[in-house]
Structure 1
Amino acid sequence: MMLGLHDLSVARGGRPVLSGLSLALAPGQALILRGPNGVGKTTLLRTIAGLQPPFAGQVDCAPETVAYAAHSDGLKPTLTVAENLRFWAAIFGTRDINPALAAYDLAPLAERPAGMLSAGQKRRLGLARLMVTNRPLWALDEPTVSLDTTAVAQFATVLRDHLGQGGAALIATHIDLGITADTLDLGPYRAAPDRGDAFDDAFEDWA
């Protein structure tokens, strides 16, 4: 098992947004997270990535196995495309960045500062970072934002290769990536709304 969630509750701003969530993710498996904006997809991914603690329940996953791709691409704008990848490769002990450059057609941009890239190019570079982490579990938050059709296909190819090599992925997206994956609707796991603050309680009593 790559990831296990056991009766998990996650919170945003101190208030639970999802509760009672249990699942298991095996090597080679992808799971698509669905649900309306605000349901808690990002909060769930951040919790799995170890960026915030669970509100309740348990996450079974070694933090060093997770690579998290958020809305931000995590780039240093003054470094070139190649320098950005070498920076992350050095952190994770990867020697060769060429496969990551090739997978997203970034070789022609290798010497361009990241700050001069278009939004789509930045997203491709941000996703290329995943390939130099050598981490088996990818937690991806709307990874195809700003990507054109060609780049979405590149990402899907990389993702299929990752799964084929025994990796796993948890992906919040509304886009059909053309991969074999289960889908989890987070709507039924919405946490029950609290009753508000003391002022609200007082008003209800008065009313």
Structure 2
Amino acid sequence: MELTVTDLAVARGGVPVLEGVSFTVMAGEALVLRGPNGCGKTTLLRTVAGLQPALAGQIGLEREAMAYAGHSDGIKAVLSVRENLQFWADVFATGSIEPALEAFDLNGLKDRPAGSLSAGQKRRLGLARMVVTGRPVWVLDEPTVSLDVSAVEMFAGAVRTHLRGGGLALMATHIDLGLDEARVLDVRPFKAKAPALDDFDGAFL
């Protein structure tokens, strides 16, 4: 299992933001994207995950191998913690939700409505969904938002377990998770060139 991205170009709102992006992530590895806010990390992750089309380039892995966690926690407020996780376990036909509850210390909250949780607890529940998907590739956009120090370590532990089980992870985060298996890719060198003005546009400048 490996995720290979070759000469990828991505756009936000129709405007190119990154181009020529290439990397490979092998099973057991994590790749962390770095760069300032607005530089295109989210757009790149969404494109790799198949949520929007690429302008150019290739992604050498099927969308069905990936699970994506973005800025939204993706939970149903009226369902309990247990019911939320069981819903996703049923969708992905992965069986037990116990490993996810354990990984993110949710057993004591499993009968609570998700809507009554704190922001950090909701985030832990949202990330626990990744465990129940059973998918080998985790694509994560700023996964540690709203997490305290102990919850960040829970998340890092879940990623370590995933990698040791032969999975891989691609994520954008400014937090050092202490993962020996992680490499860092700065996306700033891949910033797309500004489109050239044609003669008509130039006449008005």
For normalisation by structure 1, the TM-score amounts to 0.95
Residue of structure 2 equivalent to 1:105: 105
Residue of structure 1 equivalent to 2:188: 187
Residue of structure 1 equivalent to 2:43: 43
Distance 2:63 2:131 in 1: 17
Deviation at 1:200, TM superposition (A): 4.6
Give yes or no for the alignment of 1:5 onto 2:5: yes
Deviation at 1:202, TM superposition (A): 2.3
Cα gap change, 1:77 to 1:196, in 2 (>3 Å): farther
Distance 2:197 2:43 in 1: 21
Residue of structure 2 equivalent to 1:171: 171
Deviation at 1:92, TM superposition (A): 0.3
1:31-180 counterparts in 2 under 5 A?
Answer: 31-180=31-180
The code of the aligned residue for 1:92 comes to F
Kept in 2, the 8 Å contact 1:80–1:113? The answer is yes
Distance 1:200 1:117 in 2: 52
CA RMSD of aligned residues (A): 1.3
Unpaired runs of at least 5, structure 1: none
Unpaired runs of at least 5, structure 2: none
Deviation at 1:201, TM superposition (A): 2.2
* Secondary structure of residue in 2 paired with 1:203: coil
Deviation by residue 1:106-155 (Cα, 9 ceiling, x = unmatched): 11111111111100000000000000000000000000000000000111
Distance 2:199 2:116 in 1: 51
User: Number of residues paired by the alignment?
Assistant: 204
The answer to which of 38-47 and 188-197 deviates more is: 188-197
Distance 2:13 2:111 in 1: 41
Residue of structure 1 equivalent to 2:29: 29
For normalisation by structure 2, the TM-score amounts to 0.96
Counting aligned pairs with the same residue, the percent is: 61
Kept in 2, the 8 Å contact 1:195–1:201? The answer is no
Cα gap change, 1:111 to 1:23, in 2 (>3 Å): same
Residue of structure 2 equivalent to 1:18: 18
